[in-house]
Structure 1
Amino acid sequence: MNPDEPEAPKGAPDAPLWLSSRATEIFAGLCATIDAMGYLSTADQHVIAQAASRLEEVEITTAMVEDGGRTYVSAADYDAEGRVLSQMMRSNPIVAQRSEAMRHAHALLSELGLTPAARSKVSAGKKGDDNPFKALMGG
């Protein structure tokens, strides 16, 4: 921990206008999670937006892989009756796009402290007990 780390302004950032409606929903969910963990900051708007956008891309590319499959036939040779003599199977490029989106989303979530490994590397002050009578009762 850096004791001289600048204090980030507390508060919920606004979703950027460039986010799609689905990415805006993901943005709100990420903000709610970070807020519950006690360190939501308006300064993190763009990182949260990037993570939301990449998570949406993971959803989109996953649906495309489910619809189109992991492979496709790129070339085929046929005989005179139209029977396939040989064909070349290739990897669906959407699989690579999804993998890249997943890697980038993971990196962004780590930056935001939203992975188990990232959380284990930082210390956070514990939230105070909201019960004003606890101290009076010796707790």
Structure 2
Amino acid sequence: MKRMILFIFMTLFLFAGCNSRETHQIDDYIWEMISIQSIDEGGEIVAHGSTATGVLETDVQKELICRAKNGILTLTDKTADKTYTGTYRLETTTPDSVIYMVTIENSDGTAVAAHTTYADGSREPTLIIITDGYVLNFFAGSATS
């Protein structure tokens, strides 16, 4: 189980940082959820955002927004009208990514802010949060001021 979690984390870390030339901080954007994956279910997508394509009928559509400011992390589930709060702390900065330690509702985890580069060469800022048996994938929405 530990190997699986480590494998998923390293894969996501490398995926998020591939070919990026500049890093973005977690508080640079309001982040919009792309998907939520279950680590226990082998990375199966259990929820997706409104812009997802090719999703399974068993997936649940959610509108989840992540905001970070001054060490406070706020996840707003607009679908269920719930808000989850936590904290983030800078752990490591590399040329390709910024890694944070996060705590959300008393569950510790890791977050990686980086760029994802797609097959067509396009890039977008991406935030990946791994906590409590789930991988939450976000893309950058609007920039914060």
Which structure has the larger Rg?
Answer: 1
TM-score by length of 2: 0.21
Higher RCO (CA 8 Å, separation ≥ 6 residues) = 2
Q: Greater share of strand residues, 1 or 2?
A: 2
TM-score by length of 1: 0.22
